[in-house]
Amino acid sequence: MTAVHVPGAPTISAGDLISTSPATGAEAGRFPVATEADVREAVQRARTAGEWWAGLGFTGRRERLLRWRGVLARRIEELAELVHTEGGKPVGDAVVEILTALEHIDWAARNARRVLGPRRVRTRLILAEFTGHLEYQPYGVVGVIGPWNYPVFTPIGSAAYALAAGNAVVFKPSEYTPAVGQWLVDRFAEVVPEQPVFQAVHGLGDVGAALCRSGVAKLAFTGSTATARKVMAACAETLTPVLLEAGGKDAMIVDADADLDAAAEACVWGALTNAGQTCIGIERVYAVDQVFDAFVDRVVTKAGRLTVGPDGADIGPITMPSQVDVIRRHIEDAVARGGRAVLGGPDAVQPPYVHPTVLVDVPEDSAAVREETFGPTVTVNRVRDVDEAVERANALPYGLGGSVFGRKRAVAVARRLRSGMAAVNSTLTFAGMSTLPFGGVGESGFGRIHGEDGLREFGRAKSVTRRRARSLLPSMTFERTPTDVARLVKVAKLMYGRGR
Ligand code: NDP
């Protein structure tokens, strides 16, 4: 913690975590910092609460979750304003974020029983005398650790699904956005006043580390790849399963038959929304030679129109003050190594703001192409054809999302991207589709939130077989006879012995 207060940088004073606006430095909220013992106690309380919550069943939980969704929806302006004050995000972007989160709460609540509830599964000839039953039972207490860049959408992507599955949740919001985290928890307590089913614990990274070691039955982490490694190492000590939603360096591919106006519009949005502080933000573009110049012209025109500033602007401040240095380094390095800033450039960095910056012809091994920039910048490089574009897009260890613009080949190209998600003729849209799983590959993490996979992530498969008739061909018993075994050999050959 810095002694001199930098606007936006959280401070700790008299045992409280104080978050401030990155634009003005005004205090946004203060919350007691949890000790390791506090975190353990919260998890202990959550165990009892979780049993009670699980006991409500799918119907009872659905009703509460839909009421929570209703409260958030009715107070959307208030929450958007808080997101804006605490993180600097433009109010319009905050509204879009909250709307997306509401859709996820709604879908998780309405679909939990169908996806996770008890059901009979088909039996086959082997063990035909048994029925099979499957259900996904809650873990108990799930720990959720969230980042600051989407302080509503990201924790809800895990928490709403975990809650719908019947778990209690202990949530550690980012130290940059504790007020938003606490607000979500407080609204939940209004509709579930009986038990602390959804709690927040506040503090710096050590509180997150304490949550990993607190005895939670599963840990859902969203944040940087560097921290994901620490989280996984801490959870390994107790074999606590983890879900990791980590960083990205998503690419957009623009093919020769793309609608260039639409591609440029989506590129500008995908790269610059939330000042580029988006895990699935477009940070690199590969445009094929025939359309490269026309595409870049359009991007520069559209991005050049965006306003930058504290209130009512398209692009707000950089939330985490230290990130400004990373953004500056990436831009300066790109330019020093032969890249050209066709919009913005090193002078665009004016803390706490960074003006839109479009870099072209940037070497593929430069930081601006290989590392997460997390600022309102984008590199656009020329490629021979989509094959080269795919090769370059897939060259990084990250693999979160991606986007492809084109007609004939776009879906096929999207499928070739080494990523968990891709949008064809749009950007970022998969995040808002509650029926689609969300998550990455490689250094972008593993496990899935959202959709059916997202619900199953928070339930343990429980399998039950039940005898419904006497076994005609006993196998799993010492009572079987040599004749039975001979018959089993015949069955094995008859059923599985054909083919190569
Ligand atoms: P960080 O990794 O710095 O922090 C994420 C969370 O982890 C914070 O709550 C942080 O607490 C906590 N934390 C820090 N150290 C530890 C530790 N040792 N053990 C446990 N928890 C710890 O990420 P940011 O908050 O800076 O978020 C930006 C990153 O998140 C980007 O890389 C972005 O790509 C990624 N992200 C990924 C998404 C996805 O879905 N894949 C979605 C959104 C963002 P504190 O803040 O107090 O340090």
Bridge partners (DSSP) of residue 168 are: 141
Concatenated DSSP letters for 293-322? HHHHHHHHHHHHT--BSSSS-SB---SSTT
- Candidates 267, 279, 283, 443; catalytic one: 279
Q: Whose CA is nearest to atom 16 of ligand 1?
A: 205
CA distance 41 to 146: 20
Residues of the chain with pLDDT > 70, as a percent, come to 99
- From residue 344, give the alpha-carbon distance in Å to each of 133, 291, 352, 372: 60, 22, 15, 18
Known catalytic residue at 479: no
Residue to substitute in 204, 222, 229, 443 for testing ligand 1 pocket (most ligand atoms within 8 angstroms of CB):
222
Decide: pTM greater than 0.85: yes
pLDDT at 2: 40
What confidence tens digit (pLDDT) does each residue in 407-443 have?
999 999 999 999 999 999 999 999 999 999 999 999 9
Give the angle 389-393-396 at the CA atoms, nearest 5°. 150
Q: Whose CA is nearest to atom 23 of ligand 1?
A: 223
Indicate the burial class of 223 (C-beta count within 10 angstroms; 0-12, 13-18, 19 or more): buried
pLDDT at 4: 52
pLDDT at 1: 41
Can you tell me whether residue 492 is helix, strand or coil? Answer: helix
Which residues in the chain land under pLDDT 50?
1-3
